[in-house]
A and B are shown apart, each in its own frame.
Chain A
Amino acid sequence: MSRPDVVVTGLGATTPLGGDVASTWDAMLAGRSGVSALTQEWAAQLPVRIAAELAVDPSEVLDRVKLRRLDRSEAIAIIAARQAWADAGLDEAGPDPERLAVSVGSGIGGATTLLAQDDILEASGPRRVSPHTIPMLMPNGPAAWVGLELGAKAGVHTVASACATGAEAIALGLDIIRAGRADVVVAGGTEAVIHPLPIAGFSSMRAMSTRNDEPERASRPWDSGRDGFVLGEGAGVVILERADHAAARGARVYARLAGAGITSDAYDIVQPHAEGEGAIRAIARAVADADVARTDIVHVNAHATSTPVGDMLEIGALRQAVGDHPVLTATKSMTGHLLGAAGALESIATILAIRDGVIPPTINLDDPDEGLTLDVAAHKARHMEIPAALNNAFGFGGHNVALVFTRP
């Protein structure tokens, strides 16, 4: 039996740039930053006092009682998944529940629930700890809630590969459909950990930008003045569907998910491999899996988080695995780094770039690093035909994921 084609038929997101895909995409094309100063009282003591918070709070979308039982990462996963579901036209006639799977992960999980309930434990004792604590903080919570909301009975899966999570969850969705275990997979990532502890932890690693006085200019991938990533929150979800299943119901197709590559470095728990060896293999595998010519991949939505080392390693990896021709962008310059949701949101940007023939800009690239030898859509969106494009996502732990999307 030949391998089934897999297409993307629905998109959903809630991000620092907008409460849905359309507003997020418009803001990206306009080069708007979603980063701002943290005004919470707890922020004052931190070395990092900026972040990219959600443009639309979940309380504006979900009712109060439901929100009491959800970690923020679960709430926004549900919001993004419902949008994607409706966008794919599945509201009226959903697929056979036993042929519907979920693959949604998060990098850190229900950390804010854990911390809030620990505060209650310390202050008021164990009897006051919420009975919803465990389902709110369990790592599979977002996937399980999405499965519950949409009635998915073919398996609910949770990928956890730090900042590669969202992309790896989509890659797993591809595998599930190719393996014949489902016709439709709701796939993506979610993250909501804007809280002093994760910020302090990343700060102690010296991984975050401390450009506190210029929030909108803090996330600056490939710029010589970059000094770390900016933490963002949000969720991105795509509907993956077997192509003939989509065709049979007359679904609108955004793009094909043509291939995926997953590798691990086995090198260091947080440092990427010094020559980007694992990244090169992931990209090469994705291109081979997609069965497209390297020259067709004219655009890359890079992982590029605005850290001194990682940004340049990716450039070297792309030159080796794809070549010198693709036009790059780093949408994290606008959204900040959504950790476990990054790969999903950036896949959505990649898919829309293919559909609309336009690459969203990399803002703040004022003084490019001298090692930046590839073309970047700096400052302004760039219009061009995009037959195929690549999205990269790398994570602490040595995870490397590359996805290739093509025009349908």
Chain B
Amino acid sequence: MTRDEITAGLAEILEEVAGVNPDDVAEGKSFTDDLDVDSLSMVEVVVAAEEKFGVKIPDNEVQNLKTVGDAVSYIEAQS
């Protein structure tokens, strides 16, 4: 799966869970500062991403995933 495909998959999740416009989702964007994803919604995003990409994202990793790009890299490395 390419980075763009992972980004697109995350954009789908973010739209579903937090109402984020998919056009706003890009690797440089911060989940909290740019996309306004609060902490509870971030939990939902992580669980949905695990399901969608068939990866495990432990809770202690989540704090390192500040931007969409961080998440893409993590998922890319795991899958």
Q: A residues touching B (Cβ–Cβ < 8 Å)? A: 63-65, 68-69, 127-128, 130-132
| Alpha-carbon gap, A69 to B41, bound state (A) | 9
Contacts of A132 in B (CB 8 A): 40, 44
Contact A128 B47 (CB under 8 A): yes
B43 to chain A: closest residue by CB = A131
Q: How far is the CB of B3 from chain A (nearest CB, A)?
A: 26
Distance of A123 Cα from B44 Cα, bound (Å) = 17
Residues of B48-64 at the interface with A, using a CB-CB cut-off of 8 Å, are: none
Residue B18 interfacial (CB < 8 Å): yes
CA distance A47 to B4 in the complex (A): 54
Report A-chain residues with C-beta under 8 Å of the C-beta of B40. Answer: 69, 131-132
CB–CB A65/B47 < 8 A: no
CB-nearest residue of chain A relative to B50?
A127
Q: Which residues of A contact B17 (CB under 8 A)?
A: 65, 68
- Please tell me if the beta carbons of A63 and B19 are within 8 angstroms of each other in the complex: yes
- List the 6 closest pairs (A to B, CB-CB), nearest first: A65-B19, A131-B43, A131-B40, A132-B40, A127-B47, A131-B44
Q: Are B47 and A64 in contact (CB under 8 A)?
A: no
User: B19 touches which one: A64, A127, A130, A131 (CB < 8 A)?
Assistant: A64
Q: Give the shortest distance, in Å, between A137 (CB) and chain B (any CB).
A: 14
Residues of chain A contacted by B41 (CB below 8 angstroms): 131
A69: chain B residues within 8 A (beta carbon): 40
State in angstroms the CA–CA spacing of A130 and B14 once bound together: 15
Bound-state Cα–Cα, A128 to B49, Å: 12
Can you sample 16 A-B contacts with CB below 8 Å? A63-B19, A64-B19, A65-B17, A65-B18, A65-B19, A68-B17, A69-B40, A127-B47, A128-B47, A130-B44, A131-B40, A131-B41, A131-B43, A131-B44, A132-B40, A132-B44
CB proximity of B17 to chain A, nearest CB, Å: 7
Q: Point out the residues of chain A lying under 8 angstroms from B43, CB to CB.
A: 131
Give Cα A244–Cα B45 distance, bound, in whole angstroms: 50
Given known contacts A65-B19, A127-B47, A131-B40, what 13 new A-B pairs fall within 8 Å (CB)? A63-B19, A64-B19, A65-B17, A65-B18, A68-B17, A69-B40, A128-B47, A130-B44, A131-B41, A131-B43, A131-B44, A132-B40, A132-B44
Cβ distance A369 to chain B, nearest Cβ, rounded Å: 52
Chain B, residue nearest A63 (CB): B19
A68 to B47, CA, bound (A): 15
Residue on B nearest A65 in the bound complex, by CB = B19
Q: Which residue of B lies closest to A124 (CB)?
A: B51
Whole-angstrom distance from the CB of B12 to the nearest CB of chain A?
14
Q: Least Cβ distance of A370 to chain B in Å?
A: 57
B contact residues around A63 at 8 Å (CB): 19
Shortest C-beta distance, A253 to chain B (Å), equals: 39
Residue of B nearest to A135 (CB): B40
Q: How far is the CB of B7 from chain A (nearest CB, A)?
A: 20
Q: Which residues of B contact A65 (CB under 8 A)?
A: 17-19
Q: How far is the CB of A133 from chain B (nearest CB, A)?
A: 10
In the complex, what distance in Å separates the CA atom of A63 from the CA atom of B17?
A: 12
When distances are taken between beta carbons in the complex, the residues of chain B under 8 Å from A127 are: 47
Q: How far is the CA of A69 from the CA of B38 in the complex (A)?
A: 12
Question: When chains A and B are docked, how far (Å) is the Cα of A175 from the Cα of B24?
Answer: 49
Interchain CA distance A130-B44 in the complex, whole Å? 7
Distance A125 CA – B17 CA, assembled complex (angstroms): 19
Task: List A contacts of B44 (CB < 8 A).
Answer: 130-132
Instruction: Give every chain A residue within 8 A of B18 (Cβ-Cβ).
Output: 65
A133, closest chain B residue (CB)? B40
The answer for the CA separation of A64 and B15 in the assembled complex, in Å, is: 10
Q: How far is the CA of A297 from the CA of B73 in the complex (A)?
A: 72
Output the least CB separation between B67 and chain A (Å): 21
- Give chain B interface residues in 22-79, CB to chain A under 8 Å: 40-41, 43-44, 47
Cα–Cα distance between A128 and B47 once the two chains are bound (Å) = 7
In whole angstroms, what is the CA distance A76 to B47 when docked? 28
Closest residue to A66 on the B side, CB-wise?
B19
Which residues of chain B are near A64, meaning CB under 8 Å?
19
> In the docked arrangement, what's the CA distance between A130 and B41, Å?
9
- Chain A nearest CB: distance from B48 CB in Å? 10
Q: Which residues from A are CB-within-8-Å of B19?
A: 63-65
- Would you give the shortest CB distance from A28 to chain B, in whole angstroms? 36
User: What is the minimal beta-carbon distance from A194 to any residue of chain B, in angstroms?
Assistant: 26
Q: How far is the CB of B16 from chain A (nearest CB, A)?
A: 8
Interface centre among A63, A127, A131 (most CB of B within 10 A): A131
Residues of B within 8 A of A130 (CB): 44
Report the bound CA distance from A131 to B37 in whole Å: 13
Q: How far is the CA of A235 from the CA of B40 in the complex (A)?
A: 27
